[in-house]
Chains A and B, each alone.
Chain A
Amino acid sequence: MAAIEFDILQYMSGLTGFTFDKAVLTRIALERGVDQVTAYAQLTKRQRDLITADLLLTAYLSPTVWASFDQAHGSFKKGVGSQTMYNKEEIYNYLYNIYSQYEDEKLEELPDNSAHVFFRNDI
């Protein structure tokens, strides 16, 4: 069996069960500074975990049902999805734990998932 060729976008696409746009993977690769990585060994566990969290954050902030995507040329067709997310809370907890573990700056950007009670005096 031939050696597996490493491609960072391909690798990132396998970190979660979601099928993302290439543009999403590219953005996260650039933001995490791994776009030039050419081998698995060049990635640290921290980078792998945070990329996973970034992907899950994108999924978390996406609509619950993702539209399907189809391409066709002549009689050749291929499609992806649609994809449905059934439990956003579990995803939120998972990515929250990763950001917390590494005290990543994204932690501050996370939407607060806890229930709010506003008092009239606060408004």
Chain B
Amino acid sequence: MAYIDRDELQDFPFTGKFYKSEIDKTKPLTEQVETEVTIAEVVCDIQEESNFRATATAKAVYGVYVPFDSDTTEIPVQRGHMFKGYQYGLLVSGKVIGVFPSQLGPFDNYTERGSDVVPHRCRGYLARVEATDV
């Protein structure tokens, strides 16, 4: 392409969902099954941040960048939640190992607090997702 297309890249081209698995312990043991409870369905960008491969082990950490209106809501995602998203049909799934908000945007200026919910103003957040089935 011989011209500059400033709209070529989409900020959030993918969709995904954060969820947690719950078991209704009020039911008899034989009826207790894991159910998926959706925390948030989001548009997002997904980028691989690091990966690790060794004999019989393959892991990767993905950055899931999510837009967020801090004026109206709080970040619903917590460490320990699960994430599942698709990049053009490629499944990315794993466990959230950290959530970091940003005042400037969801991309660079995150604060590594390691906390579960950070209620101060921000325009987006980064959820680090560790996937072991890469």
Chain A interfacial positions (CB closer than 8 Å to B): 9-10, 13-14, 19-23, 25, 69, 71, 73-74, 80
Contacts and interface: CB of A to CB of B under 8 A. Distances in A.
Contacts, number: 34
Instruction: Report which residue of B1, B7, B45, B47 has the largest number of chain A beta carbons within 10 angstroms of its beta carbon.
Output: B1
B51 to A, nearest CB: 12
Contacts of B45: 73
Contacts of B52: none
A62 to B, nearest CB: 13
Q: Is the interface of A mostly helix, strand, loop or mixed?
A: mixed
Given A73-B47, A74-B47, A74-B48, A13 B3 contact: yes
Interface residues of B, number: 12
B56 interface: no
Nearest to B8: A71
A20 B48 contact: no
Contacts of B5: 21-22
Given A71-B8, A71-B9, A73-B9, A19 B2 contact: yes
A9 B1 CA distance: 10
Contacts of A73: 9, 45, 47
Interface in B2-37: 2-9
Contact of A80 (B4, B9, B48): B4
A106 B7 CA distance: 29
